[in-house]
Amino acid sequence: MTQSDQRGPMSTQALLRQPILAMQRPTLEAVAEMNGKLYEGIAAMNKEWTSFVNRRLKEDFGIAEQLAACTTTEDMLRTCTGYVRTAWTDYQSGLEQMTRLNSALAQQTLSALQSHMDRAVKQSSETGPQAGDTA
């Protein structure tokens, strides 16, 4: 093919692609927004998880030193009881926080999807039935 022959099919293909891209734009925008919400939510969950693990590791590694400093059985029992209480509280609050973050992530993602769906329905109703559509 010569260069002038290539221009014809290329420009036809370019013209054919534009309507297809225009039809897909709302979907692409919705997916892009949902991906952004997912990224933000996952980043928040990762931050919370890292903070939780760091707190627990500090407590877990510190218990050996605290037990070594105990001079009586009562001291050791008090230290172990405090450690278990702290661990219980940390795990409970960590689970609650992760549940809240997960719920917020799901809600934000669904809200983004719903707003794009509403917008698509509104645009569809404003433009009316297209040629070739059956009612």
- Whether the per-residue pLDDT at 128 is higher than 80: the answer is no
- Whether the per-residue pLDDT at 135 is higher than 50: the answer is no
The reported pTM is 0.62
What was the pLDDT predicted at 16? 53
Higher pLDDT: 43 or 12? It is 43
- Whether the per-residue pLDDT at 129 is higher than 50: the answer is yes
Q: How high does pLDDT run on average in the chain? A: 81
Predicted confidence band of residue 43 (pLDDT cuts 50, 70, 90): very high
Q: What is the DSSP string of the chain?
A: --HHHHHHHHHHHHHHHHHHHHHHHHHHHHHHHHHHHHHHHHHHHHHHHHHHHHHHHHHHHHHHHHHHT--SHHHHHHHHHHHHHHHHHHHHHHHHHHHHHHHHHHHHHHHHHHHHHHHHHHHHHHH-PPTT---
